[in-house]
């Protein structure tokens, strides 16, 4: 990758320099032994994650929580403050000043779920990313910033104006051709790059193009998981890198910038591969802990309730999809009356599955504490 060229800053008629990226739909030569070693580790960890995922029954129940964590953390990188607990609550239970943040996180979830649900009919493409963007900004703070459309004006990163900007992406006239080139990379098997590095390259290029007026970081990170599923790297969408990026936020931005300023794609690849290795290992351990927890709840804790009921296993299954519940939610999930719903929540609290989080006498809300900790750790 020594011959890699990211692009160049070119003067514009308006007096500033915009970055002009090189096209990336072309052959590359991977000639770095250290990267090869990291790539082998990443491939091994992804294989372990895929194999373990096959052992998990109803894995779709757990994917939803992975998506919620990704949505929360990816939005946090952009300054949104909602946590997973607030994202899963009914909007009415969230303070007024936090509802916009909650809406942004839930829009991210909807965007990811829309794309994953469309992949059988619609390939990973500019069109899919524009649809995700439209969903992301719907009714949110960026709803007036051309949702679902590539920009038709100049944007910039850092600084108050173009004059003092830290980085100026390519002009809006270049966005269409550059995104077409990026889309072609998704479907080109002759680049010479393994899929994990193609995902890294595509994320870098997307963030450099910055094709939207708002939401580029979130769509670019969402795109990584979509590409892994599209390319068959993941059998299920259970690996999300935003948590790694957020915990290493300075390195994340510095490494992306280093590619543009020094043509150093190698360091970005190294950082990305370390993230994949760490995150895949963490995801495998998380699935292992979920299986252990479910087995313990079914075989040890629920029998302590002391009576046979179909509602208890129904509620437990629901909790693995929606680990924040209240009376109305439990009634829908189990088909129980209001008194029965309150009784089973009380039973689940007594056997250590649920914890009440409001401290209120009325309108109580419960959280599946141990399950939450799997995703918060």
Q: What share of the chain in percent tops pLDDT 90?
A: 80
Mean pLDDT of 120-140: 94
Fold of 308-376: Arc Repressor Mutant, subunit A (1.10.10)
Domain ranges of the chain: 7-22+32-286, 308-376
Residue 61 has pLDDT above 90, yes or no: no
Same fold, 7-22+32-286 and 308-376: no
* pLDDT tens-digit readout, 179-196: 999 999 999 999 999 999
Q: What share of the chain in percent tops pLDDT 70?
A: 99
Residue 216 has pLDDT above 90, yes or no: yes
Q: Over the chain, what is the mean pLDDT? A: 93
pLDDT at residue number 377: 66
* pLDDT tens-digit readout, 72-104: 999 999 988 888 888 988 888 888 888 888 999
For domain 7-22+32-286, give the CATH number.
1.10.3290.10
Mean pLDDT of 223-235: 96
Residue 338 has pLDDT above 70, yes or no: yes
Residue 1 has pLDDT above 80, yes or no: no
Nearest-10 crossing angle of helices 126-137, 99-118? 150
């Amino acid at each position: 990758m020594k011959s890699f060229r990211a692009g160049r800053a070119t003067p514009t008629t308006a007096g500033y320099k915009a970055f002009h990226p090189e096209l990336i739909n072309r052959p590359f030569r991977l000639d770095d032994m250290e990267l090869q070693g990291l790539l082998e580790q990443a491939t091994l960890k992804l294989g372990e994650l895929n194999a373990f995922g096959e052992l998990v029954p109803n894995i779709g129940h757990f994917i939803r929580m992975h998506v919620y964590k990704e949505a929360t953390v990816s939005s946090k990188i952009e300054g949104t403050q909602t946590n997973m607990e607030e994202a899963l609550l009914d909007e009415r239970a969230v303070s007024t000043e936090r509802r916009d943040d909650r809406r942004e996180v839930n829009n991210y979830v909807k965007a990811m779920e829309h794309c994953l649900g469309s992949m059988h009919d619609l390939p990973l493409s500019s069109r899919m990313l524009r649809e995700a963007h439209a969903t992301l900004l719907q009714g949110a703070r960026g709803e007036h910033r051309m949702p679902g459309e590539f920009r038709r004006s100049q944007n910039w990163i850092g600084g108050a104006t173009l004059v003092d900007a830290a980085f100026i992406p390519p002009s809006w006239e270049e966005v269409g051709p550059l995104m077409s080139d990026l889309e072609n990379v998704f479907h080109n098997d002759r680049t010479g790059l393994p899929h994990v590095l193609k995902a890294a390259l595509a994320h870098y290029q997307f963030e450099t193009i910055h094709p939207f007026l708002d939401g580029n970081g979130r769509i670019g990170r969402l795109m990584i998981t979509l590409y892994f599923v599209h390319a068959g790297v993941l059998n299920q969408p259970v690996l999300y890198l935003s948590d790694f990026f957020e915990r290493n936020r300075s390195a994340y931005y510095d490494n992306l910038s280093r590619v543009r300023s020094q043509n150093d794609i190698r360091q970005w690849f190294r950082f990305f591969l370390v993230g994949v290795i760490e995150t895949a290992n963490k995801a495998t351990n998380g699935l292992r802990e979920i299986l252990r927890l479910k087995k313990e709840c079914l075989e040890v804790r629920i029998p302590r309730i002391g009576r046979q009921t179909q509602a208890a296993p129904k509620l437990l299954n629901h909790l693995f999809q929606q680990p924040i519940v209240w009376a109305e939610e439990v009634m829908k999930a189990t088909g129980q009356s209001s008194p029965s719903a309150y009784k089973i929540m009380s039973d689940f609290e007594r056997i250590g599955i649920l914890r009440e989080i409001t401290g209120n006498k009325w309108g109580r809300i419960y959280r599946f504490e141990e399950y939450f900790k799997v995703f918060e750790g």
